[in-house]
Amino acid sequence: MAITTDIQTNATGDAGRPTPSTTTLPLARAINAGLRRALEQDDRVMLMGEDIGRLGGVFRVTDGLQAQFGTQRVVDSPLAESGILGTAIGLAMAGYRPVVEIQFDGFVFPAFDQITTQLAKLHYRSQGRVRVPVVIRIPYGGHIGAIEHHSESPEALFAHTAGLRIVSPATAQDGYTMIQQAIASPDPVIFLEPKSRYWEKGAVELDAEPSGDLHRARTVRAGRDATLVAYGPSVATSLAAAQAAAEEGRELEVIDLRSVAPLDLDSVVASVERTGRLIVVHEAPTAHGVGAEIAAAVAERCFYRLQAPVLRVGGFHTPYPASAIESDYLPSLDRILDAVDRAFAA
C-alpha cells in the first residue's frame, strides 16, 4: 500500500535563522514522524505489533522505523494480542515506554482483559508505586468498506474503565503532536487513529515541541446557533455539516474533543451556554456511549441554558454492517443536519 507524501518545507526566516519547518503530510505519515521523533529522543521507547517492522504495519504507519532503529526497538510480534499487551505491561514496569499497535479495532478484544484488569489498575493497585506508560495505537472507525472487527469504535468500552486515557487525533498536526504527548504520559493511553482519515493531508510543524494539554478540546469552527461536538473521524463530517448549515443561515460551532477520557467538559459547557443547543456526533453506537455521557453532563451543568434537548448522531445498536449499507450506519452530513433541524424545531 503506497502512501503519498507531499512535503513543503520552509527552512529559514528573514534573518537566516531556522524557523519551525511546516510540512504537508497525510495523517498516517504525521504519526510516523511523531513515532520517529519519540524513538530518537528517548531510548526507552520501543514499538511492538504484528507486521509493524519489515512490512511497516497494515496501514504503513510504522514504515521505515525498523530499518532505522533496529529489530530490538521495533519488534514484529507474534499474532497474539493478549501476549503483546502482557509483554508491554512487563516492559513498562521495567522502565521502558512500549507503544503497541493493534492492526484493527476489533482485534483489541483478545487483549481486553490485560488492558482493563491489569494495565488500567496497576498504578492504583500499587498505591502509586508502579507506573505503566504503555501506548496502544488502534486504527478505528468505518468508511473503508470493511466489515465488523475492521471498522468498529470501541472507545466507550475503555472509557468506562478508570485508569485509562483515551485520545483521538482528527488532523495531521494532532497526529504528530498527540502521539508524542501520549508516549510521554506516565499513564496508559489508548490512541485511536481514524483510519478513514489516514490519507488526508494537513500542515505539520515538525520542529515544534509538543505543547498544550493532551486532553483539551479545541474549537475548529465558531458559531452562535448550535454546538456540534465530535472527535476523530466525525470532526470532518461535522465541519461539512456546519458549512452546509451556514448556507441556510445557521452558524454551528464545531468542537473537536480530541480526548474521550478524560473529557474536557468545561469547553463543551462554555459553548452550549452561548448557543443553547448541542448535538454530539460519533461513529460508535449511541446506546450507552460517549455521547450519552456528554448529554448527561451537559444536562446537569447547563439545563436552564438549553433551548432544546441534547441530541446524538452515531451508529446503531447492531454489529457493524456489511459494506453495502455502511453509509446508512455511519453519521452522515444529512443525518447531522436532520438532528440540527430537530434541535431548532424543539
Q: Render pLDDT for 112-128 as a digit per residue (tens, 0 to 9).
A: 999 999 999 999 999 99
Per the domain annotation, does 4 fall within a domain?
no
Per the domain annotation, does 316 fall within a domain?
yes
Of 140, 174, 205, which residue is a domain's last?
205
Same domain, 37 and 97: yes
Per the domain annotation, does 261 fall within a domain?
yes
**Total domain count, the chain:** 2
Nearest to 154 by CA among 115, 99, 128: 115
Same domain, 183 and 127: yes
Same domain, 175 and 27: yes
Tell whether pTM > 0.85. Answer: yes
Same domain, 144 and 53: yes
Per the domain annotation, does 121 fall within a domain?
yes
Contacts of 147 (CB under 8 A, 6+ apart): 320, 321, 322, 323
Per-residue pLDDT tens digits for 238-265: 999 999 999 999 999 999 999 999 999 9
150 is catalytic: yes
Per the domain annotation, does 13 fall within a domain?
no
Residue 178: CATH number of its domain: 3.40.50.970
Query: In which domain, by residue range, is 196 found?
Result: 22-205
Residue 260: CATH number of its domain: 3.40.50.920
CB atoms within 10 A of CB 317: 10
Same domain, 330 and 270: yes
Per the domain annotation, does 307 fall within a domain?
yes
Nearest to 343 by CA among 219, 271, 252: 252
Per-residue pLDDT of the chain (346 residues; tens, 9 = 90+): 333 333 333 333 344 344 568 999 999 999 999 999 999 999 999 999 999 999 999 999 999 999 999 999 999 999 999 999 999 999 999 999 999 999 999 999 999 999 999 999 999 999 999 999 999 999 999 999 888 889 999 999 999 999 999 999 999 999 999 999 999 999 999 999 999 999 999 999 999 899 899 999 999 999 999 999 999 999 999 999 999 999 999 999 999 999 999 999 999 999 999 999 999 999 999 999 999 999 999 999 999 999 999 999 999 999 999 999 999 999 999 999 999 999 999 8
Provide the pLDDT for residue 147: 80
Same domain, 82 and 199: yes
Same domain, 256 and 281: yes
Same domain, 201 and 223: no
Of 159, 183, 205, which residue is a domain's last?
205
Given the residues 123, 150, 215, 282, select the one marked as catalytic: 150
Same domain, 94 and 173: yes
Provide the pLDDT for residue 277: 98
Q: At what angle do helices 333-345 and 234-246 cross, to 10 degrees?
A: 60
CB atoms within 10 A of CB 212: 11
Residue with cell 470532518: 236
Rounded-to-integer distance, Cα 256 and Cα 277, Å: 16
Per the domain annotation, does 196 fall within a domain?
yes
Rounded-to-integer distance, Cα 109 and Cα 218, Å: 31
* Burial class (CB within 10 angstroms; exposed 0-12, middle 13-18, buried 19+) of 41: exposed
Per the domain annotation, does 169 fall within a domain?
yes
- Do 73 and 67 contact (CB within 8 A), yes or no? no
Per-residue pLDDT tens digits for 79-125: 999 999 999 999 999 999 999 999 999 999 999 999 999 999 999 99
Q: Which residues of 228-241 are buried (b: 16+ CB within 10 A; e: fewer)?
A: bbbbbbbbbbbbeb
